[in-house]
Amino acid sequence: MAAMIGYINRNMKKHIITLENPVEFLHRDLNSSVTQRDVGFDTESFASGLRSGLRQDPDVMLIGEMRDKETIDTALKAAETGHLVVSTVHTKNAVQTLSRLIAEFRPEEQEIVRARLADAIQAVISQRLLRTVDGKGRVVAVEIMRVTGTIRDCIVDPERMEEIVDLIEEGREQYGSQTFDQHLMDLVEEGLVEFSLAKAAANSPSDFDLKMGILSGGGADGAGEIGKIGEFTP
């Protein structure tokens, strides 16, 4: 998210407001005006900071994390009124992100929330950092869901949510989307990540094993662990 805000700040003339707990990266004004608020110090909560921030006519709002129903609802309202909203949810993949946002609302509210989410959401990017083969660094595996008309239909209809994974996979060439498993297979084939580590990180380890076997006759065995780092170099 810091990289996204940095890109907008360098290349566009926008008013950007960030709500973070804590503020991790300091953005100086370049082409954009950036206001950063520390939740708990500058504002009571993400939801209250988001509400007050909307009164300051922002173009872009970064929310460090959508933790509760109130924050999600206010973020949706911000998106529905033409603001670009960037935020995180602690989930494993794109489909789980959608399910988590919807599940925060009561059952009787979920039908309208599905419609609002389908209309507002543009993309979901999920990432996992994996140890490289040489053990000296980390490489990112990324799942990218670009929201298409068909995916919007699937978000609205709870019985079609399971179709989204296949739509992400099928849209790789046309829309630039990809599943974790697709990118993990690329990383194994490029010799960047051990097969066993990639399999452990896959959305479906059994399917990943089968697909890798079909594509390349299997992969190299090796122990590994999924790593996580929190550093960013602008």
pLDDT along the chain (234 residues), means of 10: 96 96 94 95 90 92 92 93 94 94 96 97 96 95 97 97 96 95 95 94 89 61 36 37
Q: What pLDDT sits at residue 226?
A: 32
Q: What pLDDT sits at residue 227?
A: 33
The strand ranges marked E within 64-201 are 84-87, 123-131, 138-146
**212 & 127 share domain:** yes
**216 & 132 share domain:** yes
Q: What pLDDT sits at residue 15?
A: 97
Gap between the Cα atoms of 130 and 138, Å rounded: 5
Identify the H or E element spanning 19.
strand 15-20
CB 176 within 8 A of CB 116: no
Q: For residue 231, how many other CB atoms are within 10 A of its CB? A: 5
Please indicate, yes or no, if residue 74 is contained in any of the structural domains: yes
DSSP code of 153?
H
Encoded tokens for 55: 């009164």
Last-in-domain residue among 88, 111, 140? 88
What's the one-letter identity of residue 207?
A: D
Gap between the Cα atoms of 38 and 42, Å rounded: 5
Please indicate, yes or no, if residue 55 is contained in any of the structural domains: yes
Please indicate, yes or no, if residue 99 is contained in any of the structural domains: no
CA angle in degrees (0–180, nearest 5) for 232-171-186: 55
Q: For residue 217, how many other CB atoms are within 10 A of its CB? A: 7
Residues in the chain: 234
**49 & 7 share domain:** yes
Please indicate, yes or no, if residue 113 is contained in any of the structural domains: no
Please indicate, yes or no, if residue 78 is contained in any of the structural domains: yes
**75 & 138 share domain:** no
**148 & 218 share domain:** yes
CB within 8 A of 34, min separation 6: which ones? 5, 9, 16, 17, 18, 27, 28
Find the CATH number of the domain harbouring 29: 3.40.50.300
Encoded tokens for 123: 């993309």
Last-in-domain residue among 88, 114, 149? 88
- Residue range of the domain that includes 152: 122-229
**Residue given tokens 């896959």 in the structure block:** 202
**62 & 161 share domain:** no
Q: What pLDDT sits at residue 234?
A: 37
CB 124 within 8 A of CB 94: yes
**80 & 130 share domain:** no
The strand ranges marked E within 31-137 are 33-38, 60-63, 84-87, 123-131
Q: Considering the entire predicted model, what is its pTM? A: 0.85
Q: What is the total count of domains within the chain?
A: 2
Q: What pLDDT sits at residue 214?
A: 67
With CA atoms as reference, report the closest residue to 185 among 203, 163, 166, 167: 203
**73 & 129 share domain:** no
**158 & 220 share domain:** yes
Q: What pLDDT sits at residue 209?
A: 86
